Chains A and B, each alone.
Chain A
Amino acid sequence: GAVVSQHPSRVICKSGTSVKIECRSLDFQATTMFWYRQFPKKSLMLMATSNEGSKATYEQGVEKDKFLINHASLTLSTLTVTSAHPEDSSFYICSARDVVQGAVSETQYFGPGTRLLVL
């Protein structure tokens, strides 16, 4: 199946700094990637849809200036948490859909996630 990687897997930073998380589709091209946030014992909360070559689409309540998304190529999307605060500490997961017979698959392949801890 399709493979999605995320880097870093874990990051600890000081309050006020910015953190960049990379999401890569390793063996397929992804015009669309999704960024999720997951709190302990909770489900995945969609933050935004990342579109290659255009602006991301943010879900209601997600600050676009706080969570900057850049989808510069068909295999890479980045999420930058700007001026991070302790309440931004969470598990961030990206996903992508591959293309099967010319159509975008409805199956999402998830990256392994990035655990962010802001002190």
Chain B
Amino acid sequence: AQSVAQPEDQVNVAEGNPLTVKCTYSVSGNPYLFWYVQYPNRGLQFLLKYITGDNLVKGSYGFEAEFNKSQTSFHLKKPSALVSDSALYFCAVRDMNYGQNFVFGPGTRLSVLP
């Protein structure tokens, strides 16, 4: 079975500092990994994905994520946080052996403080 864990409910970071939002996953086959962001009263917006190849994936709004197979992790990062990055972030996994179904993590609320 597929599963995703986001060990932190809340991450606080000062504006201008680097941010990391953590994600670990469990799948039986090879994973496809995704990050989404949700702003208040909006749907989830796609940020980036990992399929194969380079372990460092770059996405929208300056975000990037690092895939680590040995640690089964896919942490989201940004070198310099903006107040406007404050939102709810979801990690998702799709097992290549299990069709189109995504499994989403519980979400991490990021607060960037001015």
Asked if A and B bind, the verdict is no
- A residues neighboring B (CB under 8 Å): none
